[in-house]
Amino acid sequence: MSQQPEKINLLGLSPKQLEDFFESIGEKRFRAIQVLKWLHQQGASSFDEMTNISKTLRQRLAEVADIREPEVILEKISNDGTRKWVIRMDGGSSIEMVLIPEGSRKTLCVSSQVGCALDCSFCSTGKQGFNRNLSAAEIIAQLRVAIRSFGPFDPKDERRVTNVVFMGMGEPLLNFDNVLAATELMMDDNAYGLSKRRVTISTAGVVPAIDRLAGLSDVSLAVSIHAPNDELRNQLVPVNKRYPLKELIAACNNYLSHLNDKRVITVEYTLLEGINDQPEHARQLLKLLRQLPCKLNLIPFNPFPNSGYTKPSSEAILKFKQIIVNGGIVTTVRKTRGDDVDAACGQLVGQVDDRTRRSQKYLSVLQLDSTTESLTPAGDS
């Protein structure tokens, strides 16, 4: 039985990969720029639209390649303007993404994996286990969906998406190549043209991947610290057992040293009542942060049922913040946004067909957003 080779999805090819593709089919490399513009500036979804390319080449392209996007199965707009989508990926699992408006800034929070393998103790995505990496096309498709939701495709329209953060589902640095290709497209002038300061990869601290990224990309980096010492961090962010704080801070400094501008790392710290929110934790954190050019983003814990954690009081959050600010570190407290559509940090759960069987342990405690309950049921394949 002969099987048709699968067509290559051009949506996820980085500028360099698209040039290589054209070369591999005996075409000139500059075609890549034409096609990049069609795909990512015009939002083309078929080769027929690409009118500055000859009909023969368009037909040839349609034989070997395609432009495939996953299906949007739900779009919700929250009272505060936050938009949330549920997108079904090939294979039946779904992911969630959100767009958060804040003044002139419109931040799109994208997912990089279906589920997550890292199992941070306070994250509901982690409780669902891990299914698979998203392809670069599936990551870029999220940006296209968000841009398109405002009307005819226009990535340069500043009222749509101005910033992208990899803070949805998944650990982006464990899906290295696809995330890298997607960020290259986001930052390329022939594609989305976002500034490197406006595209941020957020990692729980996969040290070898941070090292690999250094010199290869100049995307902005956020690091999820969540605890000021290894003992506590081992419990909250288990990947710390492999890559402890000292190595993580060194990798971050090394990353910054490869950038040719003055940038800082965004340190994320989710505040969990009675666990990591005490003044002594703040003082310890301050010492740690002094070893790294950074700004701090405090995230009050977003609850989900049976998580075992609660959010600290506003007074406790303020007190914590003040200790760090008094130590001279720029600190913001993340506002909870879009919680009327379950779009807040750590509430993005999608529907993960878990391959690690971890979710079996948690199925009884897992919150399923009532709007996603009717989707493909989670469980073992």
Of 145, 185, 299, 341, the residue at the interface with ligand SAH (CB under 6 A) is: 299
Would you say 297 and 254 are in contact if contact means Cβ atoms under 8 Å apart?
no
202 binds ligand SAH (CB under 6 A): yes
Q: How far is the CB of 248 from ligand SAH (least distance, A)?
A: 12
In angstroms, the first-to-last Cα distance of the chain is 26
Would you say 120 and 238 are in contact if contact means Cβ atoms under 8 Å apart?
yes
Q: Active-site residue 96, yes or no? A: yes
Could you give the CA distance from residue 202 to residue 170 in angstroms, rounded to a whole number?
10
- The answer for residues whose C-beta is within 8 angstroms of residue 261's C-beta and 6 or more apart is 218
Sheet holding 105-109, edge to edge: 71-77, 83-88, 94-102, 105-109, 163-166, 199-203, 220-224, 265-271, 294-300, 331-333
Q: Which stretch binds ligand SAH (CB under 6 A): 72-80, 87-95, 273-281, 297-305?
A: 297-305
224 binds ligand SAH (CB under 6 A): yes
Q: Which is nearer to ligand SAH, 53 or 299 (CB)?
A: 299
Q: How far is the CB of 121 from ligand SAH (least distance, A)?
A: 9
Of 214, 345, 349, 352, the residue at the interface with ligand SAH (CB under 6 A) is: 345
CA 373 to each of CA 73, 74, 75, 110: distance values in angstroms, whole numbers, following the listed order: 12, 12, 15, 21
120 binds ligand SAH (CB under 6 A): yes
123 binds ligand SAH (CB under 6 A): yes
Of 89, 167, 210, 214, the residue at the interface with ligand SAH (CB under 6 A) is: 167
Q: Which stretch binds ligand SAH (CB under 6 A): 42-50, 156-164, 184-192, 295-303?
A: 295-303
Would you say 203 and 167 are in contact if contact means Cβ atoms under 8 Å apart?
no
* 88 residue type, one letter: R
Q: Which is nearer to ligand SAH, 9 or 113 (CB)?
A: 113
Could you give the CA distance from residue 274 to residue 179 in angstroms, rounded to a whole number?
35
CA 10 to each of CA 7, 38, 358: distance values in angstroms, whole numbers, following the listed order: 9, 11, 34
277 binds ligand SAH (CB under 6 A): no
Of 13, 181, 182, 204, the residue at the interface with ligand SAH (CB under 6 A) is: 204
| Binding residues for ligand SAH, total number by CB under 6 A | 16
Q: Which is the catalytic residue, given 19, 96, 138, 184?
A: 96
β-bridge mates for residue 90, sequence order: none
Of 85, 176, 255, 301, the residue at the interface with ligand SAH (CB under 6 A) is: 301
**What is the DSSP code (8-state) at residue 240?**
G
Q: How far is the CB of 202 from ligand SAH (least distance, A)?
A: 4
Q: Which two tokens stand for residue 375?
A: 């989707």
251 binds ligand SAH (CB under 6 A): no
Phi-psi region at 81: left, alpha or beta (left = phi > 0; alpha = psi -120 to 50) = left
Q: Active-site residue 315, yes or no? A: no
Q: Which is nearer to ligand SAH, 191 or 349 (CB)?
A: 349
Positions touching ligand SAH (CB under 6 A) are 120, 122-123, 167, 171, 202-204, 224, 268, 270, 299, 301-302, 345-346
Annotated catalytic residues are 96, 345
